[in-house]
Amino acid sequence: MREIKFKRAFFFDEAKTKFSHFDSWGVNADGANFKSPSSNNFAQSFTDLQFTGLQDKNGVDIYEGDVVEYETTEGILRTGVVTWSSELCCVMVGEMPYQQLYQSAFIQPSKVVFLVIGNLYQNPELLT
């Protein structure tokens, strides 16, 4: 069974610029439900982020909103944000669709290796 996991990013403001903390919940591979203890801290808004089903080279789960570093098949080092594309109906890293991520991570693991270096909300400076 595939793990179905989410992280919820809480913010101190409606504009979602002042990050507070993460909570998580979902269903583990063995079918057991889990939920992290909630500590609201007066948060004003939140955003839900889904687990992609992939892990980075250190075994860290990759979620929407994560900033990852990877080397393309051409040997170019890139940084990208993990996002959902409604048009393609798949997870993306930068301009790379999930189909390529899936092939790279599971079928040919030596082709593209990801490293989670932060996330969009706690580390916006990684995108500049």
pTM of the model: 0.77
Over residues 77-116, the pLDDT tens digits come to 888 888 877 776 667 777 665 555 554 444 444 456 789 9
Over residues 65-83, the pLDDT tens digits come to 999 998 776 777 888 888 8
Q: E strands along 1-128, which residues?
A: 4-11, 19-27, 33-35, 45-55, 61-63, 66-71, 77-85, 90-93, 96-97, 114-119
